A and B are shown apart, each in its own frame.
Chain A
Amino acid sequence: NAGVTQTPKFQVLKTGQSMTLQCAQDMNHEYMSWYRQDPGMGLRLIHYSVGAGITDQGEVPNGYNVSRSTTEDFPLRLLSAAPSQTSVYFCASSYQLAGILTGELFFGEGSRLTVL
C-alpha cells in the first residue's frame, strides 16, 4: 500500500525558475493538502482541497498554485521560485467518517527544495 507519494524527493532551483511538486494518494481520500516545514516555524498549511475541482488557500499561499483534477493527484506549482521558498514540503491526505473529515492526516515523505 503506497499511501501518499511525493516526487521529487530533492530539488535545487535557481531564483525565478518554476517547477511542480507532485503528490499522489491511493487511499481514495477526498481531502488533500500541502504543508511546508521550516525550522522554528513548524508545519504551515499552503493550500488544501476537499475534493476534485475544489481548492482553497491556507496560511501561506503566496507564490504557490494548486489544482485538483482527480481525487488521486494534487500537484503544487511554484510559479517563480524565491530563496524564501527553500523548505521541506509535505503533502497530506485525509478521509471522512460518516461524512465528517477526521483530524488524521496521512503524510508523504516530503520534498526537499532549495532555491539558490
Chain B
Amino acid sequence: QKEVEQDPGPLSVPEGAIVSLNCTYSNSAFQYFMWYRQYSRKGPELLMYTYSSGNKEDGRFTAQVDKSSKYISLFIRDSQPSDSATYLCAMSPYGGATNKLIFGTGTLLAVQP
C-alpha cells in the first residue's frame, strides 16, 4: 500500500463548477500538507500549505486536513479553464530538518469552457 493515495482522474467539469480533489494517507506522523499544481510540461508549483488539521482558504481555493481520518482535500470554487492542470498532494512528517515530501500520483483536472 502506498503511503499517499490519490485518485488519478481524469476529472472533467464545466466552467464554474466546484471541484473537490482528495488524498488519503497511512502515516500518522505526517504534519505538513501541501497541494501543488502542475501545468502540462511544466514543473509543479506550490498552491496551498497547511500544518496539522483544519482549513485554509486562499481566494477560490480551500484546503482541508482531517488527521483523524487521514484525509486531505482541495476545493476549487468557480472553476476556470485556467485551472486545468494536474493537482498533486504532498505531505511530510518533518517540516524542519529536511524537505523529504511524499507526493501523491496527481489528479488530472480539465475545466471545460
Q: Mark A residues whose CB is within 8 Å of B.
A: 4, 31, 33, 35, 40-45, 48, 50, 58, 90, 92, 94, 100-105, 107-110
Task: Name the 9 nearest CB pairs between A and B, nearest first.
Answer: A107-B43, A42-B105, A43-B103, A42-B103, A103-B32, A104-B46, A94-B99, A107-B44, A109-B43
Query: Interface residues, chain B, CB within 8 Å of chain A?
Result: 4, 6, 8, 32, 34, 36, 41-46, 49, 88, 90, 92, 94-101, 103-106
Q: A48-B98, A92-B43, A94-B99 are in contact. List 18 more A-B contacts (CB 8 A).
A: A33-B99, A40-B8, A41-B105, A42-B104, A43-B44, A43-B88, A43-B90, A43-B103, A44-B103, A45-B101, A101-B95, A102-B95, A102-B99, A103-B49, A105-B36, A105-B44, A105-B46, A109-B43
- Are B105 and A90 closer than 8 Å at their CB atoms? no
Q: Give Cα A38–Cα B87 distance, bound, in whole angstroms.
A: 15
- A105 touching B42 by the CB < 8 A rule? no
Instruction: Name the B residues within 8 Å of A33 (CB-CB).
Output: 99
Whether A42 and B88, one on each chain, are in contact in the complex, defined by CB atoms closer than 8 angstroms, is yes
Interchain CB contact under 8 A, B99 and A48:
yes
| Distance in angstroms between the alpha carbons of A108 and B41 in the assembled complex | 11
Closest to B31 in A: A103
How far is it, in angstroms, between the C-alpha of A44 and the C-alpha of B102 when the chains are bound?
A: 8
